[in-house]
């Protein structure tokens, strides 16, 4: 399906091919997904961690999340199968409503504004619906402009995560 045999130097720049993306199962892209996410997530931490500490803690968090629930990954790829973005969704019993629910643990796109995020979130919702869940949730930082984007996608604000530094 994908022309993976081509050397990367022979392919057109990824920005040019990104607009004709497709969304496919992401399980064979996990290395790429977590490598991308590990870089992005680091910028959200407000604590000074050494590279080693961060990598170790990141690995522990991911393994902890993967240990419970049923997980599904989708990726957006260009026609050469190159990674453009991903969504990670997990099924669990919700801790507030006590019904089967889906959580979007992560959604990322390398190229915002061309519909990759929309296609990924729709695919995640479609999968969650098919799996029999009654709702889908996600967490977003209070200052993240994505709040508006999620709201346009039909998400409403349900709860607040409050925190105190010790």
Quick note: the x/- pattern for a second copy over 20-59, rule CB under 8 A, is ---------------------xx-xxxx-x----x--xx-
How far apart (Å, rounded) are the C-alpha atoms in residues 27 and 47? 31
**What is d(CA 26, CA 39) in angstroms, rounded to the nearest whole number?**
18
Distances in whole angstroms, Cα of residue 17 to Cα of each of 33, 62, 126 = 19, 30, 26
* Residue with smaller CB distance to a second copy, 18 or 136: 136
Single residue of 4, 95, 113, 145 touching a second copy by CB under 8 A? 95
Residues 6+ apart with CB under 8 A from 1: 81
Which CB, 112 or 132, lies closer to a second copy? 132
> What is the C-alpha separation between 70 and 32, in angstroms, rounded?
20
65 sits near a second copy (criterion: CB under 8 A) = yes
Q: Which residues bind a second copy (CB under 8 A)?
A: 41-42, 44-47, 49, 54, 57-58, 60-61, 64-65, 67-68, 92-99, 102, 125, 128-129, 133-142, 147, 150-151, 153-166
């Amino acid at each position: 399906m994908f022309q993976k045999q081509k050397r990367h130097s022979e392919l057109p720049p990824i920005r040019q091919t990104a607009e004709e993306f497709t969304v496919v199962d992401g399980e064979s892209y996990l290395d790429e997904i977590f490598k991308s996410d590990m870089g992005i997530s680091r910028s959200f931490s407000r604590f000074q961690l050494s590279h080693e500490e961060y990598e170790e803690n990141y690995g522990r968090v991911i393994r902890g999340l993967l240990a419970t629930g049923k997980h599904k990954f989708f990726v957006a790829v260009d026609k050469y199968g190159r990674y453009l973005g991903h969504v990670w969704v997990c099924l669990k019993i919700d801790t507030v409503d006590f019904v089967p629910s889906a959580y979007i643990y992560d959604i990322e796109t390398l190229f915002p504004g061309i519909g990759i995020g929309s296609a990924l979130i729709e695919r995640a919702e479609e999968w969650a619906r098919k799996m029999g869940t009654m709702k889908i949730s996600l967490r977003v930082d209070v200052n993240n402009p994505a709040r508006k984007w999620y709201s346009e996608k039909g998400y409403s604000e349900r709860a607040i995560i409050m925190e105190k530094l010790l």
